[in-house]
Structure 1
């Protein structure tokens, strides 16, 4: 750790190293295959330029909600916001460096103990109070897109912020991406969780990915 470099500067560099979409992101459409236990469903998804998501062709309401939830979660993390817009009111301080070389970044003004860890100019650990729950995320591998990194394998766990009581079993994720035009688009998310005491894997597979601008141009040519 270089003490002469401020904790804020180190954290800002990692924040700005994340892969995000350009502000003129056009949205996209894709075929979705949803697998949950023995259930397998296929439909079509649209993520619009305003990042709202729709699913058609799948009648199961829980499956639709699950797909939309994952698409929204991914899209939110692709929104490009400056460091000042996101963290301009926050302060940062160095914590400990763990055995892997990850540097802890503390947020002293946060009463719930929000903190991060950085490794190789990437955020590899998040511990944040969000919407009444404490979320802890550890990232174990990432994709280098050449224009910022994307998390590949990671897990999350939720706890009561007041008591520290764990509120959920650990959820393990694996994300894969496909470059479409100038954009990295989620092509697969595998989620391993515990339901009713039993391990269950859910897959979200996206194929035939096309940017909405490409669809519009193709339709215009056909006419």
Structure 2
């Protein structure tokens, strides 16, 4: 009996297509946002439109405005549904090592040569990508199965110089919670701790009264 090994490309494709994304009918949404940082608690309105562009309303504080907008933007770009071939059609894939926990390394060649991923249980649990001259590494420690794909809910991110390997800035730890509104899972809470845990105050983003645009839920 001949056993055919799954190719690295097919294994990675399956994990890529298992991510939770919003479909083409996503209408956008708005929410009341509370941003907590240091001794401040700032409230306003957060909105992601149907075209996935983000808006922050009712907040004058520049730091808070930028912080909230950045998280809305980060959320929306990871919910965009693109086909595997559109995203990775110019790349090649090969197997790397399998670590002691069973996570399988996928090495990327072609257009994105030098990038790599790790897969576990049909999910991408490590991303290591070159973005705008920086090496970005994201390790995922916990995820949530929506029934329509998985969402990372506990992970960290760190930046390095791709040539020297020197770390740029502090590592950030993320903890996310999601709420199902209508047919869509929406971020309802995010806590970001940057630097040494316990020595720096976290940023907290709380999204309440989430309403899909043009739809009564």
TM-score, normalization: structure 2? 0.94
SS in 1 for 2:128: strand
Distance in 1, matches of 2:126 and 2:141, equals 9
Mean Cα displacement is larger for which, 104-113 or 15-24? 104-113
1:178 alignment partner in structure 2: 179
Distance in 2, matches of 1:51 and 1:111, equals 25
Superposition deviation, residue 109 in structure 1: 3.6
2:191 alignment partner in structure 1: 190
1:127 alignment partner in structure 2: 128
The answer to whether the Cα contact below 8 Å between 2:91 and 2:112 also exists between their aligned partners in 1 is: no
Q: 1:205 to 1:111 in 2, by over 3 A?
A: closer
The answer to whether the Cα contact below 8 Å between 2:16 and 2:84 also exists between their aligned partners in 1 is: yes
Distance in 1, matches of 2:8 and 2:19, equals 17
Superposition deviation, residue 114 in structure 1: 0.9
SS in 2 for 1:10: helix
Structure 1 gaps, min length 5: 219-223
Superposition deviation, residue 45 in structure 1: 1.1
1:114 alignment partner in structure 2: 115
1:43 alignment partner in structure 2: 44
Structure 2 gaps, min length 5: none
The answer to whether the Cα contact below 8 Å between 1:172 and 1:191 also exists between their aligned partners in 2 is: yes
Two-structure CA RMSD over aligned residues (Å): 1.8
Superposed structure 1 runs of 4+ greater than 2 Å apart: 108-113
The answer to whether the Cα contact below 8 Å between 2:92 and 2:109 also exists between their aligned partners in 1 is: yes
Superposition deviation, residue 194 in structure 1: 2.7
2:169 alignment partner in structure 1: 168
The answer to whether the Cα contact below 8 Å between 2:153 and 2:176 also exists between their aligned partners in 1 is: yes
Distance in 1, matches of 2:147 and 2:114, equals 33
Distance in 1, matches of 2:163 and 2:113, equals 8
Count of residues in correspondence between the two structures: 214
The answer to whether the Cα contact below 8 Å between 1:178 and 1:187 also exists between their aligned partners in 2 is: yes
The answer to whether the Cα contact below 8 Å between 1:127 and 1:136 also exists between their aligned partners in 2 is: yes
TM-score, normalization: structure 1? 0.92
Which one has the bigger helix percentage?
Answer: 1
